Amino acid sequence: MAKTPHDDLFEKSSMTFGEHLEELRVCLFRSVIGIAVSCLIGFIFANSVVRFFQSPLERAMENYYLATALADFPHLYGEATYEVKQMILNEKQIPEATQIDAGKLAQALQVTYPEQFGGIDISPYWYTLGDFIEGGPREFSRLLLMGKEEAETPRGRCWQLLTEDERQAVESLNSALSGATEPLTKEQQTAVLRVLNSLGGNRELHQSPEFAALTGSDAGLAQTFAARVAQLFGQEPPKTSDTVGSIRTQLEEKFDAQQSRRLNKLLLARVFPSALRTARVNVLPVFAWRPVKIKFQSLSAEEPFMIWMKAGFITGLVLASPYVLYQIWNFVAAGLYPHEKNYVFLYLPISVALFFGGASLAFAFVFDPVLNFLFTFNK
């Protein structure tokens, strides 16, 4: 006949059920106090904890930026030489494409260092390679050579204003570029720019009758959709703009070499539209080296604060975990047999060692390759 269990589970215990509950309450209260104190300590070291755990992400982002810069360099700037590779990989510097206003740079140097740069003659309206559209140098030399056979035309006037050496340079350039598909050499680029800048600096160009009737690309823009909209709503139409006409008026009152070159540049863009861009700032395309800077962005105003709070709480829980486990052990150990306690004493240190060993292994050896792999998808 089966034995009927007693209703009192604590019959053979030295503590009553209420005393066990009181002991559990004390252990939980001590654990909460320990967690609270540890969290306060965690908030003190939260910034250091965040920096420590973001270091694998910083390394992965740095490797990504360097690898991307090395891969993109040939497409943007040409062949990556040994020096370029060393600059990127060893010095951790990456190139950044930019453009500078050559005229403003020259003016700043002349004003700041007049003794060293006072004699530099650089106009904001000089031609650079950026003034050509794709295939522009070939097209310009071809059209300019056609002016040799034309009379009383803008292209014919351009040919007449060239010196004998410049004419020979245009003819030899045309014969060299005819049917060629390779990029222009530095000497050919220099020859084209020299001819263009010679025309741009010649005041006879815009004073010639062939160019007198030419207007700028912005002349009469007021008689467009904007004017019709203003008329529809009973507003005053926008004023008509004509940059070329206004520059001509200024030059008639007082000659200015810079404005003369500016006027010629605007007019030449009208004569050679298939080779030259319209009005633009005289900029030089360059690339600057800058150190890799890893910056983390927050998606909301409270996100950095929440990260700091989480770091403090998690640090506090980690610091408090030994004390909390000790309190739990004090409560549980009273109900274990000696051989059951021996199992705990054997396996608990092994479990703790495996836990910290796995965490250290992941932080030291797993995070970096995994993050590097994930960042490859950003390409």
pLDDT averaged over 10-residue windows placed end to end, the chain, 379 residues: 50 65 86 92 91 88 90 84 90 87 81 82 81 88 88 90 91 81 83 91 91 71 56 63 83 90 91 87 81 85 91 89 86 80 84 86 86 83
What CA–CA distance (Å, rounded) separates 28 from 328?
A: 8
- Joined together, the tokens standing for residue 320 give 């408090």
- Amino acid residing at 81: T
Count of beta carbons in the 10 Å neighbourhood of residue 124 = 18
Count of beta carbons in the 10 Å neighbourhood of residue 314 = 15
Q: How far is CA 216 from CA 106, 116, 197, in A?
A: 27, 38, 19
What CA–CA distance (Å, rounded) separates 64 from 92?
A: 11
What CA–CA distance (Å, rounded) separates 184 from 135?
A: 10
Measured in whole angstroms, the distance separating CA 285 from the mean position of its chain's CA atoms is 16
Among 295, 232, 328, smallest CA distance to 23 is for 328
Please tell me whether residue 276 adopts helix, strand or coil conformation. Answer: strand
Q: What is the pLDDT of residue 308?
A: 92
Q: What is the pLDDT of residue 222?
A: 45
What CA–CA distance (Å, rounded) separates 91 from 291?
A: 8
H helix or E strand, kind and range, residue 65: helix 46-77
Q: What is the pLDDT of residue 155?
A: 92
| Beta-ladder partners of 97 | 287
What CA–CA distance (Å, rounded) separates 259 from 146?
A: 28
118: Cβ contacts below 8 Å, ≥ 6 apart = 110
What CA–CA distance (Å, rounded) separates 110 from 118?
A: 5
Taking each continuous run of H as one helix and of E as one strand, the counts in the chain are 17, 2
Among 156, 147, 126, 137, smallest CA distance to 260 is for 126
Find tokens 């009469």 and name the residue. Answer: 220
